[in-house]
Structure 1
């Protein structure tokens, strides 16, 4: 199929970075307090009872994955649009939860104690936007973020996407169907390379003096967005929406986000805040392609390792070591049993 800069891709978790702009626009307008408990704004759903103080589950911490939510969600979406849950039902137990997840959005550790990635946290923020704005999430995002940034071919969900413009999804070389999502804020932005370029450019001063944020969010808020709020291995790696790359101390050099949905979606975008260069990869079929290209670009561009990719690699290495150790143990037990049987026979 022919692919171009205006071909529409679902961008999976890259959606969260754009969603963060929608939340922070409400903060700039004084309608949401970053450090208020998120439940101050919610009437349609509440966090399940836990051993922790839910007042610590703030908007700031949800944006930076430090709110203590332990859902670990990625969302797989629904092949049948009729199966899409309500937002409240999804928060209670998402039936499209990724492998090994029960789908319940709950507080599982002390809010603010550590960074832990939470797709469910952005579904809570989706509900926040709907409750505060009084509009459906996708409608609010189109009017308050996407259209003002000139992202006219972008939409949360499949509504309004022309089939001829939509990239096919592939998994292991086989074409797979597109999916619909309840968790639009976390996973369901459909966009193009052209529109993604406009989004990255909006973090910087425009060629004709347009202000960073383009009036959607303030320059001060953009600075706050790209300040470390979440840490891993002692490094400030997460802002209010994007992942941060660059110096261990001081302001980050590069910001970005990856996206992955199984089956078929692999995406990344990275932006150098100093020189305005960047990389955008929207792809289907190879789950490692986009993050690997993004990590390679960061390393060759500024000499900095991608901490998230590194941690994932360490996790895979630990699994291989554990499997290898188990194989060696089983081999040793089999060999020992064989030797004992041979001695008995002789």
Structure 2
């Protein structure tokens, strides 16, 4: 295992993700999924969710359940807006790939071609070359502060994950990130990291506009994703975030720290309203479940009008190898999300080539091209909706009829 993230994911997939006992193959798909959602709400593991399932391009299940704001009794709706956290990585990666297809950016370009001042060094003081490919595949030698102890280098440098520190500029965060030694030589292994935040700045510079404008021009506008971007389109529809807790999830405050081994994650939900905050390519987008399903369906069906079929094939192909264990054993990594290489090793009912990722505010999605299946499950509960029992029970309920 190369990271605590992977360890937690394995624990989730092995210990917290059995086939939901109330969802059986004899039930219809809607009944199986309703059972999973109803149980998670009844057990107060999640506050609210929107789940969409599409097969062959047709939505075969849709449900909004629970509360978008529990204290205000505001019900979850299909058009609820969510802080997407790491779901942002895939559309930002798609924007980078679109620029590559336009020959405005190169996979093997050194990052210093676009950000001359970004020159992190190895512990021995040498300065390696970091490429756009390595940013896309999380093989650039970077990491996240939640994957190191509380007194680790990222904490000491106050590097922002894109989830915290409202008002921080991109220039300052890149300065901080570049001041910290790399955790390994670029290209030598896989490590979940701040790579997509750096990629976002590369995309901005190669695209000739701020990252939000480039992503809008290349991805969201062509696909008609009018609800998705780096700002909140309608604050009244934004889901209130909660964190796992007993006897029920806890409403996040202005700053909310969630411990994990070896450190923890700090959330500042109000960051999204601070226009001074840098647009985080790795964690800064906001959108709806419907928009995200439309984006994933575009990838599943060949990428038009955003990417060519050949580029989407590269994006959804394992670029690193199963040793990445990006979501546990059997998982590699493509350009912007995990790729299932060995379903048996992963103990997953999904097909080889399944493309999948998740977000810290409580989200999980996957595309199974062989089954022509796309599933989006957004919640407002950290971390249950991300890697707890809920997303894996949703997955198992979808596949239950095929067992």
Which TM class, normalised by the smaller chain length?
0.7 to 0.9
Q: Deviation string for 1:159-193 (max 9, x for gaps)?
A: xx211121122234325353324252110110101
Report the alpha carbon displacement of residue 297 of structure 1 after superposing the two structures with TM. Answer: 4.5
Q: Which has the higher contact order (CA 8 A, sep 6+)?
A: 2
Distance in structure 1 (CA, Å) of the matches to 2:377 and 2:228: 16
Report the alpha carbon displacement of residue 294 of structure 1 after superposing the two structures with TM. Answer: 3.1
Distance in structure 2 (CA, Å) of the matches to 1:217 and 1:266: 28
Q: Provide the residue aligned with 2:158 in structure 1.
A: none
Structure 2 segments unaligned to the other structure (5+ residues): 1-73, 147-160, 244-248, 255-268, 272-276, 345-350
Q: Deviation string for 1:54-97 (max 9, x for gaps)?
A: 22x1111111111122445644324xxxx512111012227xxx
Number of matched pairs: 275
Q: Provide the residue aligned with 1:184 in structure 2.
A: 280
Task: Indicate yes or no: 2:372 matched with 1:239.
Answer: no
Task: Indicate yes or no: 2:265 matched with 1:198.
Answer: no
Task: Indicate yes or no: 2:115 matched with 1:42.
Answer: yes
Q: What secondary structure sits across from 2:363 in the alignment?
A: strand
Distance 1:176 1:111, change over 3 A: same
Q: Provide the residue aligned with 1:253 in structure 2.
A: 353
Distance in structure 1 (CA, Å) of the matches to 2:394 and 2:76: 22
Q: Deviation string for 1:208-239 (max 9, x for gaps)?
A: xxxx1112111111111111123335845110
Q: Is the 8 A contact 1:229 1:236 kept in 2?
A: no
Q: Provide the residue aligned with 1:110 in structure 2.
A: 185
Q: Provide the residue aligned with 1:267 in structure 2.
A: 363
Distance in structure 1 (CA, Å) of the matches to 2:398 and 2:251: 34
Larger radius of gyration: 1
Report the alpha carbon displacement of residue 280 of structure 1 after superposing the two structures with TM. Answer: 1.3
Q: Is the 8 A contact 2:241 2:252 kept in 1?
A: yes
Q: Provide the residue aligned with 1:173 in structure 2.
A: 250
Task: Indicate yes or no: 2:395 matched with 1:295.
Answer: no
Relative to the length of structure 2, the TM-score reads 0.62
Distance in structure 2 (CA, Å) of the matches to 1:297 and 1:245: 17
Q: Is the 8 A contact 2:330 2:340 kept in 1?
A: no
Q: Is the 8 A contact 2:362 2:382 kept in 1?
A: yes
Distance in structure 2 (CA, Å) of the matches to 1:201 and 1:240: 16
RMSD: 2.6
Distance in structure 2 (CA, Å) of the matches to 1:33 and 1:279: 31
- For 1:279-290, list aligned pairs within 5 A: 279-290=375-386
Q: What secondary structure sits across from 1:186 in the alignment?
A: coil
Task: Indicate yes or no: 2:234 matched with 1:162.
Answer: yes
Distance 1:105 1:139, change over 3 A: farther
Distance in structure 1 (CA, Å) of the matches to 2:364 and 2:90: 11
Relative to the length of structure 1, the TM-score reads 0.72
Q: Is the 8 A contact 1:7 1:165 kept in 2?
A: yes
Distance in structure 2 (CA, Å) of the matches to 1:123 and 1:18: 12
Distance 1:164 1:37, change over 3 A: same
Q: Is the 8 A contact 1:69 1:105 kept in 2?
A: no
Q: Provide the residue aligned with 1:226 in structure 2.
A: 316
Q: Provide the residue aligned with 1:3 in structure 2.
A: 76
Q: Provide the residue aligned with 2:24 in structure 1.
A: none
Q: Provide the residue aligned with 1:310 in structure 2.
A: none
Distance in structure 1 (CA, Å) of the matches to 2:355 and 2:253: 31
Structure 1 segments unaligned to the other structure (5+ residues): 95-102, 206-211, 304-346
Distance in structure 1 (CA, Å) of the matches to 2:391 and 2:367: 10
Distance in structure 2 (CA, Å) of the matches to 1:17 and 1:123: 12
Distance in structure 1 (CA, Å) of the matches to 2:285 and 2:316: 21
Distance in structure 1 (CA, Å) of the matches to 2:375 and 2:386: 10
Q: Provide the residue aligned with 1:77 in structure 2.
A: 164
Q: Is the 8 A contact 2:119 2:127 kept in 1?
A: no
Q: Is the 8 A contact 1:38 1:59 kept in 2?
A: yes
Report the alpha carbon displacement of residue 31 of structure 1 after superposing the two structures with TM. Answer: 1.1
